[in-house]
Amino acid sequence: MSTTTPTAITTSTAVTTAPVTTPSAATVHDDECGTYAVARDRSAVLDALIDEHAAEDPARFRMLTGDRPTGPLHIGHYLASLRNRVRLQDKGVETFVVIADFQVITDRDSVGEIGANVRGLVLDYLAAGLDPERTTIFTHSAVPALNQLMLPFLSLVTDAELRRNPTVKDELTLSDGRPLSGLLLTYPVHQAADILFCHSRIVPVGRDQLPHLELTRAVARRFNSRYAAGHSVFPEPEALLSEVPLLLGTDGTKMSKSKGNVINLRDTADETADRIRAARTDSERRITFDPNGRPAVANLLTIAGLLLEEAPESVAERIGDGGAQALKRVVTDAVNESLAGHRARRADLARDPAYVTSVLHEGNARANDVADRTLATVRAVMGMSY
């Protein structure tokens, strides 16, 4: 894998030739829809460029993404992000995946079953096809130099900017009246360190993470101008938006472990069938794809469509007058058949805990190598090499 040398101050510019026109973080909340439309257009351009150039120039599209190890991954994660990571890796994109263990305590009082959750994520990554030879899988807590980048980065943002971050605000609202902790307020800066420590150019994200990416771009820009005399120490990364629509749980509301409405990747075929049998539908016999009028039915059709690579309207057409029962059978078969390979590989890998440990050790070692070099560059440009 190619990495950045300690003193390299890269001046190569962004991934594309077109100037980036996304607005600054300060305007994200007021203009969320405009920002989203721009980000979606940019993503389409990026996707095409990756197809064209990733194989010959993998570092140009270095990608970082990650998950909080708060519990098992579900089919929403699989369809919206995991499949896409594997697809990009297989196109030759240099891939980093952070298991964001320090991010777990942004909105809760304890880390929970952190060890088991971290290992569970690794199992799903490997079963889905992430290849630890090509993809660096690591945890925050094992990479000290990454965390240290947060100090200079914090100096580049204001508290007002952090307080108006719409994602932080939403997370605060959802955390049951907890007071705003210093970590919840500043975790977008920590996330900027995740993204910038390896000079990643591409960050596949869902819509809710766009404000964090804007902040990351601001941190990179400000670092370069304030501490590096305008040299491009940190390139400004770009969002690669998921094309997958927001998926709901089996009761037609937001997926949430505590509501018991999710289908986990690791669930058995029987557990999946039970969960889908209990799914909310309606009593209309004719199955139609109507996201506004029949959101729960539309959600099941969307899941089946994504797995079968078929438009949800056409899945509905096939079911016709079969009613909820036929719909549930189609969805259950789609989930169980398309996840059968994943689940079998996951079960095999789970029998070899030493292998999972070695994947983490190897990934952490590589991430440390990269982070140490980046921190050395930062100290050098800031005049802190003594």
Chain residues that interact with ligand TRP, rule: CB under 6 A:
64-68, 98, 100, 103, 191, 194-195, 203, 205, 209
Contact 255, 246 (CB under 8 A): no
Minimum CB–partner distance for residue 194 and ligand TRP (Å):
4
Type of residue numbered 112: G
Type of residue numbered 205: V
Dihedral angle sign, alpha carbons of residues 262, 72, 174, 79: negative
Contacts by 42-49 with C-beta closer than 8 Å and gap 24+? Answer: 42/16, 42/238, 42/239, 43/239, 43/240, 43/241, 45/16, 45/18, 46/15, 46/16, 46/202, 46/238, 46/240, 47/240, 49/15, 49/16
Contact 122, 359 (CB under 8 A): yes
Instruction: Pick the closer one to ligand TRP by CB: 206 or 323.
Output: 206
Type of residue numbered 382: M
Minimum CB–partner distance for residue 6 and ligand TRP (Å):
23
Minimum CB–partner distance for residue 256 and ligand TRP (Å):
14
Instruction: Pick the closer one to ligand TRP by CB: 68 or 275.
Output: 68
Instruction: Pick the closer one to ligand TRP by CB: 4 or 191.
Output: 191
Task: State the distance between the two ends of the chain, measured CA to CA, in whole angstroms.
Answer: 30
CA-closest candidate to residue 192, choices 178, 179, 209, 180: 209
Give CA–CA dist 274/72, Å, rounded.
Answer: 18
Give CA–CA dist 326/201, Å, rounded.
Answer: 45
Concatenated DSSP letters for 154-171?
A: HTTS-HHHHHT-HHHHHH
Instruction: Pick the closer one to ligand TRP by CB: 141 or 288.
Output: 141
Minimum CB–partner distance for residue 65 and ligand TRP (Å):
5
Minimum CB–partner distance for residue 326 and ligand TRP (Å):
35
Going by the DSSP 8-state scheme, the letter that residue 264 receives in this structure is B
Minimum CB–partner distance for residue 255 and ligand TRP (Å):
13
Minimum CB–partner distance for residue 204 and ligand TRP (Å):
8
Instruction: Pick the closer one to ligand TRP by CB: 77 or 342.
Output: 77
Going by the DSSP 8-state scheme, the letter that residue 78 receives in this structure is I
Instruction: Pick the closer one to ligand TRP by CB: 54 or 100.
Output: 100
Instruction: Pick the closer one to ligand TRP by CB: 4 or 103.
Output: 103
Minimum CB–partner distance for residue 166 and ligand TRP (Å):
14
Instruction: Pick the closer one to ligand TRP by CB: 200 or 272.
Output: 200
